[in-house]
Amino acid sequence: MLSFTKYLDSPGRALMAFIFLVSGIGKLGSVIATQGYMEAFGVPGILIWPAAAWEILAGAFLLIGLWTRPLSLLLAGWCLLTAFIFHMKWADPMQLINFPKNMTMAGGFLLVARSGAPGFSVDGVLTLRKSKDPYQAGTVSPRA
């Protein structure tokens, strides 16, 4: 039976990864401004470096489909955390957009955590390789 899941999975992950790659690279492109923004919300500006690294790495791993399930749980948490820290000033029209965007992304990541990356992904290749390994499949007993 033909499943379209593997054909939808990769572009879906790519679209979700896009925002993290752009955000992480953007932080590195405007360090002073981003640090000022972070500090205005009580977050130490020095945290720009781990935040940028996390967003770039997480975006790249999501894009290639590596460790997708645990990564998606962490990204859901990241979306919730950043929403509640940076997007709660609802008098600002941009925050009225960004807060629900983060909530929606968190929900999407919970769905990805449930399904993983069954299609064209590193996880998919590793799962296929593992299922073809006779020792992993239990069809061959290893010698003692």
pLDDT-derived band of residue 3, with 50, 70 and 90 as boundaries?
A: low
Please check whether residue 75 is in contact with residue 37, taking contact to mean a CB–CB distance below 8 angstroms.
no
Residue environment code for 61-70, b if the CB has 16+ CB neighbours within 10 A, otherwise e: bbbbbbbbee
pLDDT at 127: 81
Using the predicted structure, report yes or no on whether residue 143 has a pLDDT greater than 50: yes
- Report the C-alpha gap between 128 and 144 in whole angstroms: 26
In one-letter notation, the amino acid at residue 73 is L
Quote the CA–CA distance of 84 and 89 in Å, as a whole number: 10
Q: At what angle do helices 48-64 and 5-29 cross, to 10 degrees?
A: 160
35-56: buried (b, 16+ CB within 10 Å) or exposed (e) per residue? Answer: beebeeeebeeeebeebbebbb
Look at residue 66 and give its three-state secondary structure. Answer: coil
pLDDT tens column, 96-138: 999 999 999 999 999 999 988 877 888 888 887 777 755 555 5
Mean pLDDT of the chain: 89
Helices and strands in the chain, H and E counts: 7, 0
- By CB atoms closer than 10 A (0-12, 13-18, 19+), residue 118 is middle
d(CA 49, CA 108): 26
What pLDDT digit, counting tens, does each position of 4-56 carry?
A: 767 788 899 999 999 999 999 999 999 999 999 999 999 999 999 999 999 99
Using a cut of 0.95, tell me whether the model's pTM lies above it.
no
